[in-house]
Amino acid sequence: MKNNNKTVREIALEVLDSVEKNQSYSNLLLNNMITKHKLSGLDAALLTELAYGTIQRKMTLDYYLSPFVKFQKTQGWIINLLRLSLYQLVFLDKIPDHAVIFEAVEIAKKRGHKGNTSMVNGVLRNVQRKGVPSLDEIKEPAERISIETSHPRWIVERWLEQYGYDKTLEMCKMNLLASVQTARVNIRKTSRNEVISLLREEGFEVEPSVVTPDGIKALRGNLTHSEAFKAGFFTIQDESSMLVGYAIGAEGDEQVLDACAAPGGKSTHIAERLSEKGRVISLDLHEHKVKLIKDQAERLGLSNIRTRAYNSKNVQEIFGLGQFNRILIDAPCSGLGVMRRKPDIKYTKTQEDITSLSGIQSELLDAAAPLVARGGTLVYSTCTVDKEENDNVALSFLKNHPDYEEDYSLKDRMPDPVKPLVNGNMLQVFPQDFGSDGFFIACFKRKVK
């Protein structure tokens, strides 16, 4: 359990501190830590469980700690150490209580003075003796969901209003579960059956996705470490994200603009479905992001993608009106559909972010709209579940663009299990539908006349 003289729990505490202090993204930070400390499979899995679990359950843990700790008067790292320890005591049954408390005290000794050590020891032993307060004390439904599932109250209230009690509770509970790694097969190079056989030969536990025809689910092992990945046989992508590639329906020699394209998950999907002569033009704001798309295209052996660092609000300055058969706006969004993979999102996003993002989303759609050829397709997607960024943006787009209409072929383009979720030209996938990301897709068609 020791790496560079740091235990996995010490590293987990560093992750918690950094996520809180520097607003670092937990998923990126965790990957960096795993590499920096050269963590092996089991230790990497434990670090992920401890750091993600503690962040995911932060509000519940604070409720449990509240009778025992004066939050205002306690240093941040001590609160994090207590959260980390309590998470193990309450939510993990494979680690004995005495080991959890012993390690917490050792960390406190290394990090702080004697007073800190005895406080950590005292709080954890007190919790052990008296037990944590019952959630049944919380009578009000929004507050109960908020504390029990660690979602800020404003998010719970919005979802209650938009989707009702049952869906909200289901979604909040689902968001606490670990996400499963999934991959999309590069149909240019190989088939799903072949990739599954290759991965199994390499010792990975995988199965076909039941959501998408080109998807694979990893039950054990990180697929990016496989030879099949290096050979460009697949892309790591969430199953909901894959749906966008089907929704846009690109084929043959078509010209497609992907206006918010990095790191390239959807651009490469579209390119795989086009011919060699077809083109995906992939834009994103910064050179370093565009490089991610180029790297993926190269790994996958795709020569029909062109990239450029560009602000897509100004696309009309570089492309001709009606130039593209299809355009995708996979817009920047609040990401409230991907909380399982980025648990810190729920604590950092605000209602103001949602409003300002919906403005940006509309601007991007407005800028791209005239570049779609008559009879062509415009697809708008987000990885969020908030109606202000989803349905409302889609509806106001149609209202402001009389040259567009709903594209009802969205349903035909969806894989069978997804079809029942399509509502006209829109699709909202919730995390609880398939265990994939919360995702929204709207399809528009530019009128022929």
Ligand X SMILES: C[S@@+](CC[C@H](N)C(=O)[O-])C[C@H]1O[C@@H](n2cnc3c(N)ncnc32)[C@H](O)[C@@H]1O
Where does this chain bind ligand X (CB under 6 A)? 241, 259-266, 283-285, 289, 311-313, 330, 332
Alpha carbon 423 to chain centroid distance? 23
258 is in an annotated binding site: no
Q: Which lies closer to ligand X via its Cβ, residue 249 or residue 265?
A: 265
44 is in an annotated binding site: no
Question: What DSSP string runs through 361-381?
Answer: HHHHHHHHGGGEEEEEEEEEE
Residue of 62, 26, 80 whose CA lies nearest to 340: 26
Distance CA 206, CA 203 (A): 9
In the complex, least distance from residue 414 CB atom to ligand X, rounded to whole angstroms: 18
172 is in an annotated binding site: no
330 is in an annotated binding site: yes
Contact 256, 326 (CB under 8 A): yes
In the complex, least distance from residue 245 CB atom to ligand X, rounded to whole angstroms: 9
Look at residue 428 and give its three-state secondary structure: strand
Residue of 9, 329, 383 whose CA lies nearest to 179: 383
Separation in Å, CA 338 to CA 83, 107, 111 = 23, 32, 34
In the complex, least distance from residue 329 CB atom to ligand X, rounded to whole angstroms: 9
214 is in an annotated binding site: no
- What is the token pair recorded at 43? 């230790």
Q: Which lies closer to ligand X via its Cβ, residue 110 or residue 286?
A: 286
Distance CA 26, CA 354 (A): 21
In the complex, least distance from residue 287 CB atom to ligand X, rounded to whole angstroms: 11
301 is in an annotated binding site: no
Separation in Å, CA 76 to CA 14, 70, 111, 292, 347 = 11, 11, 12, 35, 16
Q: Which helix (H) or strand (E) holds 257?
A: strand 255-258
Cβ neighbour number for residue 135 with a 10 Å cutoff: 12
265 is in an annotated binding site: yes
Q: Which lies closer to ligand X via its Cβ, residue 259 or residue 327?
A: 259
Where b means 16+ CB within 10 Å and e means fewer, 11-31 reads bbbbbbbbbbeeebebbebbe
Exactly one of 172, 333, 383, 443 is catalytic; name it: 383
139 is in an annotated binding site: no
Q: Which lies closer to ligand X via its Cβ, residue 10 or residue 389?
A: 389
Distance CA 250, CA 269 (A): 10
Contact 87, 57 (CB under 8 A): yes
In the complex, least distance from residue 393 CB atom to ligand X, rounded to whole angstroms: 14
Residue of 256, 212, 249 whose CA lies nearest to 234: 212
In the complex, least distance from residue 150 CB atom to ligand X, rounded to whole angstroms: 24
Catalytic, 443? Answer no
Alpha carbon 266 to chain centroid distance? 14
435 is in an annotated binding site: no
In the complex, least distance from residue 257 CB atom to ligand X, rounded to whole angstroms: 11
Q: Which helix (H) or strand (E) holds 248?
A: helix 239-248
**Active site members:** 383
Residues annotated within a binding site for S-adenosyl-L-methionine: 260-266, 284, 330
Residues annotated within a binding site: 260-266, 284, 330
